[in-house]
Amino acid sequence: MKYAEKEQFEKANMFGTGAPNDGYAKYFKGSSFLNPITEPGKTPIFLANVTFEPKCRNNWHIHHADNGGGQMLICTAGEGWYQEEGKEAVSLSEGSFVYIPANVKHWHGAKADSWFSHISVEVPGENGSTEWLEEVDDEHYGKL
């Protein structure tokens, strides 16, 4: 379901919007918010609810790992996009699930007319790291 107004979105965003995602702001076009569900180092997997304002998206990026690794997205509120390099963008809505294998270049974010939240699951892997790349430019995004 699309939520153009933040007030209505907040009622549906069951895991909470959280705080401005200042630590990663340089990798996002628009404003995003982060609400950790688990505390880093206290559980084997880190989970966080990531919220995007309308039109917000993260840069192209790759979750590297020699073995295992990658990311999973569990969409919880609003509508968004996910795209792997060389493939068509996929529309996401509440209940959508995306598995992103390690070493796959991709991006994700909100649709232009809706707030969007997903739980980000960082899959453990050997020698894991995230490489942040170029932004998803307005021309590319505008064609979706």
What pLDDT is recorded for position 41?
84
86: tokens are 């060389």
- Global pTM reads 0.95
**pLDDT per residue over 60-100, tens digit each?**
999 999 999 999 999 999 999 999 999 999 999 999 999 99
What pLDDT is recorded for position 77?
98
**Spatial distance between the Cα atoms of 121 and 98, rounded to a whole number of angstroms:** 10
Give the per-residue SS3 of the chain.
CCCCCHHHHHHHCCCCCCEECHHHHHHEECCEEEEECCCCCCCCCEEEEEEECCCCEECCEEEECCEECCEEEEEEEEEEEEEECCCCCEEEECCCEEEECCCCCEEEEECCCCCEEEEEEECCEECCEEEECCCCCHHHHHCC
Termini Cα distance of the chain: 17
**pLDDT per residue over 93-139, tens digit each?**
999 999 999 999 999 999 999 999 999 999 999 999 999 999 999 99
